[in-house]
């Protein structure tokens, strides 16, 4: 694990007889063991309170302050580090009137203790001494900050997977497991700065800070014995632990409001109703015997039917006459007329009114369904489709995406634009992130009919995800200006269109090429002054010739304290590839640059607020520089 708690290969000491052990080797031994444990804590157990750490609150009316008390306990932060609170602690703060909630944070603090004398090996003075801390105590600290996130209720904070009677607990568990599975596939969780544990939320009561506020304990790490006991109790509960109702499982509760818990509701046939059960098919057929009865079983009289008058428009309102079936059908089919566009009326007394299909209009009669379908020709009646698509480009700024338009053919065109938030700009060549972006659309003809590909290219953009809007417009058949009349009964009333061919005048542009003039100036070369180099003494052992025709390489002994390679920033304890990249980006790329840099410059480059950490890196770099 690296210093910023990202995933990286572990390293451990490889021992051999006579190996020289330095501070760096012993620190690596501790880092290896701690890093393994922290990784398991972070990835398996999770983050939060393990035990204890009860938070209570009190209000001081005279000082208008809130005092929070934290009991003893153990927690695990997002880096997997254990935080042991070995004593009751408290923190007091004055809430702002316009803030409704605060969060109490628990952080681990490593304190250096027990200073001891140490020899100054790099000072050149063998008798010199310095003072170094010899122990690190893993302590803790409390902090209160304004909370801008959502505030759950007390029941929601503690309920976990327990649901109310109106909630489908099975769906909740499936959603929870899927979300957990998706998080695992997405990658290991990262832990940035600051690495700390939210212990509790402090919630204001009413419209102002007055009286003891509400406390909602936050994330809790569930231990294996606790989870096992919960599962054991649930499996051995043979009653109805979920308080499941008939409505939740889709069971029959009543028949027309008649209930009989644990028993049957009998269906009783009466009058002409027939009930036929079928146990094999698991069906109950409810029928009637009245339809087959002919005659007048109800002894209905004519005046009881309330017959309509023969001619409601006449003065004869006596309804005591019968009409023939043919006359009744004519009466029911009679049509007074049709209005056109809410205005003129078309009538044809005693006959039908014909509907004629005009230009680009299709009439489809359905006598059985008693309806007439009027359709417009061209485009299949389809309307334009639109949607949003996200494209992720690669390092070259190129990305593609396939979109389904919703049409069942490939007779459509597509416009694509970039969604800038406040507006969408359409076009094939656009500006995005200060670069020229090219957008190409390819409509598929044979495979995935109805789909199209969007190709985005902006070489200077690099890898990123952008939002695009697309509009697919179906092709519409356009009627030709010339109409051919094929029916002698159709009168063509369409207007006459005159097409005039426009005249275009092309002017050949004139290009004048001027040969540029180049002036070459020879640079002045200045030879650098070569400093005088002192060759260290080299002792060569053994003969050069060990036999006829055989030459042995001499053994070269390098003077002690001199390295054969230039040190790198990662040779400094605590600086990994990620921190080395931040220093290099700030212009500190070598050990010499780091040794000469100021504490503020190093702290700003690394983005840390602890000057002691930056000073430690500078001191280590100075030591490595002196060894050279």
CATH of the domain at 576: 1.10.150
For helices 599-606 and 611-627, the axis angle rounded to 10 degrees is 110
Residue 561: pLDDT band by 50, 70, 90 thresholds? very low
- 178: in domain: no
Examine residue 252 and state whether it is found in any structural domain, yes or no: no
Residue 257: inside a domain, yes or no?
no
Q: Report yes or no on 214 lying in a domain.
A: yes
Q: How confident is the model at residue 162 (pLDDT cuts 50, 70, 90)?
A: very low
What pLDDT score was predicted for residue 314?
Answer: 57
Predicted pLDDT of residue 108: 92
CA distances from 414 to 386, 421, 439, 455 (A): 9, 21, 11, 12
Mean per-residue pLDDT, 6-35: 90
- The answer to whether residue 613 sits within a structural domain is yes
Range of the domain at 231: 23-157+195-236
| Structure confidence at residue 316 (pLDDT) | 57
**Tokens 């098919």, located at residue:** 281
What pLDDT is recorded for position 350? 54
pLDDT of residue 225: 75
pLDDT for position 163: 33
pLDDT of residue 263: 73
What pLDDT band is residue 264 in, cutting at 50, 70 and 90?
A: confident
pLDDT at 440 over 90: yes
Q: Is the pLDDT confidence value at 396 over 90? A: no
> What is residue 271's predicted lDDT score, i.e. its pLDDT?
75
Considering the entire predicted model, what is its pTM?
0.38
Q: Average of pLDDT values for 3-22? A: 84
Distance CA 110, CA 84 (A): 12
CB 75 within 8 A of CB 53: yes
* Mean pLDDT of the region 488-498: 57
- Looking at residue 203, its pLDDT comes to 87
**Cα within 13 Å of Cα(613), Cβ side:** 14
Residue 378 has pLDDT above 70, yes or no: no
Q: 73: how many CB neighbours lie within 10 A of its CB?
A: 17
- Mean pLDDT across the stretch 13-23? 93
Residue 212 has pLDDT above 70, yes or no: yes
Q: Is the pLDDT of residue 448 over 60?
A: yes
pLDDT tens digits, residue range 312-322? 555 555 555 55
The larger pLDDT score, comparing residue 555 to residue 383, is at: 383
Q: How far apart are CA 216 and CA 371, in angstroms?
A: 66
Q: What is the pLDDT of residues 39-65, one digit of tens each?
A: 888 888 888 888 889 999 999 999 999
Measured CA to CA, the distance from residue 133 to residue 115 in angstroms comes to 4
Place of tokens 């006991």: 229
Would you say residue 338 lies in a domain? no
Percentage of the residues of the chain whose pLDDT score is greater than 70: 67
pLDDT at 409 over 70: yes
Residues of the chain above pLDDT 90, percent: 18
Predicted local confidence at residue 528, as pLDDT:
52
Inter-CA distances, 563 with 19, 151, 160, 594, 624, Å:
17, 59, 59, 19, 10
Confirm if 413 and 453 have CB atoms less than 8 A apart. no
Label residue 371 by pLDDT band (50, 70, 90). Answer: confident
Q: Which residue has the higher pLDDT, 314 or 108?
A: 108
- Residue 273: is its pLDDT beyond 80? yes
Does the pLDDT at position 559 exceed 50? no
State mean pLDDT over 216-232. 76
Range in 182-196, 255-269, 590-604 with the lowest mean pLDDT: 182-196
pLDDT tens digits, one per residue of 95-105: 999 998 999 99
Give residue 447's pLDDT. Answer: 80
What is the per-residue burial (b if ≥16 Cβ within 10 Å, else e) of 28-42?
beebeeebeebbebb
Query: Taking the CB of residue 412, how many other CB atoms lie within 10 A of it?
Result: 20
In a domain, 510, yes or no: no
* Predicted confidence band of residue 546 (pLDDT cuts 50, 70, 90): very low
What pLDDT shows up at residue 131?
86
At residue 432, the pLDDT reads: 85
Last residue of a domain, one of 204, 236, 268: 236
Mean pLDDT score across all residues of the chain:
76
Residue found under tokens 């939002």: 467
Residue 221 has pLDDT above 70, yes or no: yes
Determine, yes or no, domain membership for 340: no
pLDDT band at 441 (very low <50, low <70, confident <90, very high): very high
Calculate mean pLDDT across residues 564-591. 82
pLDDT at 192: 67
At residue 303, what are phi and psi to the nearest 5 degrees? -70, -20
Residue 390 clears pLDDT 60, i.e. is over it: yes
The per-residue pLDDT for range 327-363, each reduced to its tens digit, is 655 655 555 567 665 566 676 765 677 788 765 577 8
Number of Cβ within 10 Å of residue 604's Cβ equals 13
Question: What number of residues does the chain have?
Answer: 628
User: What is residue 135's predicted lDDT score, i.e. its pLDDT?
Assistant: 92
Split into its structural domains, the chain has a count of: 2
pLDDT of residue 540: 38
Residue 190 has pLDDT above 60, yes or no: yes
Among 23, 40, 103, residue whose Cα is nearest residue 66? 103
């Amino acid at each position: 694990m690296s210093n910023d708690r990202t995933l990286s290969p572990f390293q451990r000491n490889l021992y051999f007889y006579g190996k020289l052990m330095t501070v760096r080797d012993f620190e690596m031994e501790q880092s290896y063991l701690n890093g393994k444990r922290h990784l398991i804590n972070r990835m398996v157990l999770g983050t939060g309170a393990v035990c204890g750490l009860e938070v209570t609150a009190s209000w001081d009316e005279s000082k208008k302050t809130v005092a929070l008390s934290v009991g003893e306990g153990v927690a695990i932060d997002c880096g997997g580090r254990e935080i042991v609170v070995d004593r009751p602690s408290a923190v007091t703060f004055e809430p702002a009137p316009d803030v409704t909630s605060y969060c109490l944070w628990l952080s681990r603090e490593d304190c250096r203790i027990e200073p001891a004398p140490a020899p100054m090996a790099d000072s050149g003075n063998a008798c010199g001494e310095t003072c170094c801390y010899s122990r690190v105590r893993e302590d803790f600290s409390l902090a209160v900050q304004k909370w801008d996130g959502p505030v759950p209720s007390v029941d929601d904070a503690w309920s976990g997977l327990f649901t109310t009677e109106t909630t489908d607990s099975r769906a909740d568990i499936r959603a929870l497991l899927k979300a957990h599975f998706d998080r695992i596939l997405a990658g290991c969780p990262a832990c940035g700065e600051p690495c700390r544990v939210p212990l509790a939320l402090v919630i204001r009561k009413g419209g102002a800070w007055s009286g003891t506020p509400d406390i909602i304990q936050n994330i809790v790490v569930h231990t294996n014995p606790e989870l096992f006991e919960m599962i054991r109790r649930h499996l051995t509960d043979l009653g109805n632990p979920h308080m499941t109702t008939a409505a939740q499982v889709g069971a029959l509760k009543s028949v027309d409001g008649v209930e009989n818990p644990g028993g049957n509701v009998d269906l009783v046939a009466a009058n002409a109703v027939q009930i036929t059960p079928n146990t094999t098919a698991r069906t109950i057929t409810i029928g009637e015997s009245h339809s087959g009865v002919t005659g007048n079983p109800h002894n209905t009289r004519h005046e009881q039917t309330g017959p309509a008058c023969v001619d409601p428009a006449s003065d004869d309102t006596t309804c005591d006459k019968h009409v023939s079936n043919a006359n009744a059908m004519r009466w029911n089919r009679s049509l007074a007329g049709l209005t056109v566009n809410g205005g003129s009326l078309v009538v044809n007394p005693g006959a039908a009114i014909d509907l004629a299909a005009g230009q680009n209009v299709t009439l489809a009669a359905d006598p059985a369904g008693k309806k007439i379908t009027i359709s417009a020709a061209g485009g299949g009646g389809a309307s334009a489709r639109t949607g949003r698509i996200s494209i992720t480009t690669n390092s070259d700024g190129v990305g593609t995406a396939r979109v389904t338009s919703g049409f069942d053919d490939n007779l459509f065109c597509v416009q694509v634009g970039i969604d800038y938030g406040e507006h969408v700009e359409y076009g094939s060549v656009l500006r995005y992130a200060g670069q020229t972006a090219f957008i190409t659309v390819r409509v598929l003809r044979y495979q995935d009919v109805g789909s199209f590909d969007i190709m985005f290219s902006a070489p200077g953009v690099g890898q990123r995800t952008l939002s695009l809007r697309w509009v697919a417009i179906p092709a519409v058949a356009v009627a030709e200006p010339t109409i051919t009349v094929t029916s002698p009964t159709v009168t063509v009333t369409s207007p006459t269109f005159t097409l005039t061919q426009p005249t275009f005048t092309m002017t050949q542009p004139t290009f004048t090429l001027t040969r540029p003039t180049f002036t070459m100036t020879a640079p002045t070369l200045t030879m650098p002054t070569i400093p005088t180099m002192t060759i260290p003494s080299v002792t060569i052992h053994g003969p050069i010739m060990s036999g006829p025709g055989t030459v042995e390489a001499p053994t070269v002994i390098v003077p002690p304290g001199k390295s054969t390679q230039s040190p790198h920033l990662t040779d400094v304890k605590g600086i990994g590839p990620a921190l080395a990249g931040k220093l290099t980006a700030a212009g500190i790329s070598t050990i010499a640059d780091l040794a000469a840099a100021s504490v503020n410059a190093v702290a700003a480059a690394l983005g840390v607020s602890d000057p002691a950490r930056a000073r430690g890196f500078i001191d280590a770099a100075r030591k490595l520089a002196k060894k050279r």
